[in-house]
Amino acid sequence: MRPGLTASIGALAVLLAQSAHAHRIDEYLQATLLSLQEDRVQASMRLVPGILAAPSVIAEIDQDHDGILSESEKHAYALRVLNDLTIEIDGAGVLPKLIAWHFPTPEQVRDGLGEIQIEYAVSVPSVGANRTLTLADHHLSRTSVYLVNVLVPDDRDIHIVSQRRNEQQSWYELRYQQLTAGGALSRTPAPEREARGTWSSSQFRSLFDLGMRHIAEGTDHLLFLLALLLAAPLCVSGSRWGLPASVRQTLRRIIGIVTAFTVGHSITLALAALGVVRVPEQPVEALIAASILVSAVHAFRPIFPGKEGWVAAVFGLVHGLAFATVLDRIGLVHWEKVTGILAFNLGIEAMQLVVVAAILPSLMLIGRTRAYPIVRIGGAVFAATAAVGWLVERLSGMETPVDKIVNGVAQQALWIAVAGFLASLAYRFPLAYRTRSAAKPEPVFRD
């Protein structure tokens, strides 16, 4: 058996196994695994009807309703599945070509053991180096759930840049670069190109964009940082958060926390991406959830006042290990990884700065008002709840709604930031005016 085929079967098994706990009996699971080649993209589909969905799927295949799935009916159904796909490469529609199909017996489908297998391929135009493939699956969408993934290419001249999906994974976008074929980035032989570390500005920009998108979509990373920043505008009074810090103190703390987190995750991102450090993914993801819980507790009650920068650096080391897994999946060679780490990390820092800049005005203004304890405690409770949900998921495999809830809030982040800034202006400036008029110092705020 060819190594590529072995990898394909293994990866598909993992893909299906990962989804098994979420596959309800009334759903039609459609899993697609893509394999990139120089002149085409090959796809392997596995369609698994749940027990309650099985009768309707059998009826779709068995057009004459005789209880037997003839070869012509199987072939016709495979073609119907492909007709329900919309595939584009570099913005141009392409038609999938059916290669092979395999169907279980109706009895196996009814028992929930049947797996329909469909193989197809699409041709890749000969001109172009920066590729974009989009795949939309409309087949029986009312009862279906979807999974899409791509294998790390065997061809060293093909490099995956990024993947995007909608929430249902019925729509999928893959960006990759093809260094050979018409319009190639380079005609240098692969071993020589690897030795030189050939790299292009478009590759750098793509990985920079990937870093920005990863941190924007990585709500757990941002939630850790934001929870740690919640206490930055405050000083400690006894065992509680009390007096507001000065503007200079607040800025110094925020810069220190963000810088320390950057240094921490940059170190382990580089070490892990270069293969110097190897840590299993599950404990890393669990530790990230734990880091959010720790920062949330600290926002509620000071447990390491004045040491937030050190905490950010230590947990940043953990977060960097998670960032490195993204570069691992792209399949860069050694010298490409050096530049790739730089581009990806700069993208992370750029998006991180955007987020901090968006909340900084509100944090500086409302952090000195009576309303801030409500904001701080509310944010701490939200972060702690999300952290506990992620810990349960990542340690036990049990599914929770935390991702859906946090992602829903994150999608409204811009409006939340704008509303927070306007509210802080409305609350802060009238309060400052009244305070000056009364010639009284601002009160001490306690929980």
Residues 171 and 64 in one domain: yes
Facing residues of 241 across strands?
236
H-run or E-run covering 325 = helix 308-330
Q: How far is CA 204 from the centre of its chain?
A: 20
Residue range 314-318: average pLDDT? 94
Report the domain count for the chain. Answer: 2
Residues 223 and 170 in one domain: no
Per-residue pLDDT, 417: 75
Rounded CA separation 419/423 (Å): 6
Within 13 Å, how many C-alpha atoms sit on residue 58's CB side? 21
Whether pLDDT at 438 is above 80: no
Give the model's confidence band at 194: pLDDT under 50 very low, under 70 low, under 90 confident, else very high. very low
- Choose the final residue of a domain: 153, 187, 221: 187
Token pair belonging to 180 = 């050979």
Amino acid at 433: Y
Judged by DSSP in three states, 384 sits in: helix
- Choose the final residue of a domain: 154, 187, 220: 187
Residues 421 and 288 in one domain: yes
The residue among 318, 312, 297 whose CA lies nearest residue 394 is 318
Per-residue pLDDT, 428: 60
Local structure of residue 127 (DSSP, 8 states): B
Residues 320 and 182 in one domain: no
Q: Contact 181/155 with Cβ under 8 angstroms?
A: no
Specify if 444 maps to a domain: no
Per-residue pLDDT, 17: 45
Question: How many residues are recorded in the chain?
Answer: 447
Specify if 195 maps to a domain: no
Rounded CA separation 155/96 (Å): 22
Q: What is the pLDDT of residues 127-167, one digit of tens each?
A: 667 889 999 999 998 889 999 999 888 888 888 888 888 88
Local structure of residue 136 (DSSP, 8 states): E
Residues 260 and 156 in one domain: no
In this structure, the dihedral spanned by the alpha carbons of residues 402, 403, 405 and 411, taken in order and rounded to 10 degrees, is 160
Q: Contact 188/198 with Cβ under 8 angstroms?
A: yes
Judged by DSSP in three states, 399 sits in: coil
Specify if 346 maps to a domain: yes
Asked whether the CA dihedral 363, 365, 367, 369 is positive or negative, the reply is negative
Rounded CA separation 403/406 (Å): 5
Rounded CA separation 43/168 (Å): 19
Q: What is the pLDDT of residues 339-385, one digit of tens each?
A: 888 888 899 999 999 988 888 888 888 877 788 888 899 999 999 99
Residues 267 and 327 in one domain: yes
Specify if 446 maps to a domain: no
Judged by DSSP in three states, 50 sits in: coil
Residues 228 and 169 in one domain: no
Whether pLDDT at 298 is above 90: yes
Specify if 203 maps to a domain: no
Q: Contact 232/253 with Cβ under 8 angstroms?
A: yes
Range of the domain at 57: 3-187
Q: What are phi and psi of 432, to 5 degrees?
A: -65, -40
Q: Contact 424/430 with Cβ under 8 angstroms?
A: no
Q: Contact 406/223 with Cβ under 8 angstroms?
A: yes
Amino acid at 290: A
CA angle 187, 191, 194 (to 5 degrees): 85
Residues 227 and 151 in one domain: no
Per-residue pLDDT, 324: 83
Q: What is the pLDDT of residues 397-406, one digit of tens each?
A: 787 888 888 8
Rounded CA separation 139/326 (Å): 30
Per-residue pLDDT, 258: 94
**Widest distance between CA atoms in the chain:** 91
b (16+ CB within 10 A) / e for 20-44: eeebeeebbbbbbbbbbeeeebbbb
Which range scores top for mean pLDDT: 216-225, 272-281, 303-312?
303-312
Question: What is the DSSP pairing of strand 28-36 with strand 144-150?
Answer: parallel
The predicted model scores a pTM of: 0.57
Specify if 147 maps to a domain: yes
Q: Contact 352/225 with Cβ under 8 angstroms?
A: yes
Per-residue pLDDT, 277: 84
Count CB atoms within 10 A of the CB of residue 354: 12
Specify if 40 maps to a domain: yes
Specify if 193 maps to a domain: no
Within 13 Å, how many C-alpha atoms sit on residue 275's CB side? 7
Give the model's confidence band at 180: pLDDT under 50 very low, under 70 low, under 90 confident, else very high. low
Q: What is the pLDDT of residues 46-90, one digit of tens each?
A: 999 988 888 999 999 998 888 899 999 999 999 999 999 999 998
Amino acid at 431: L
Whether pLDDT at 38 is above 80: yes
Residues 14 and 75 in one domain: yes
Rounded CA separation 71/274 (Å): 50
Residues 160 and 297 in one domain: no
Q: How far is CA 87 from the centre of its chain?
A: 23
Residues 337 and 432 in one domain: yes
Residues 357 and 243 in one domain: yes
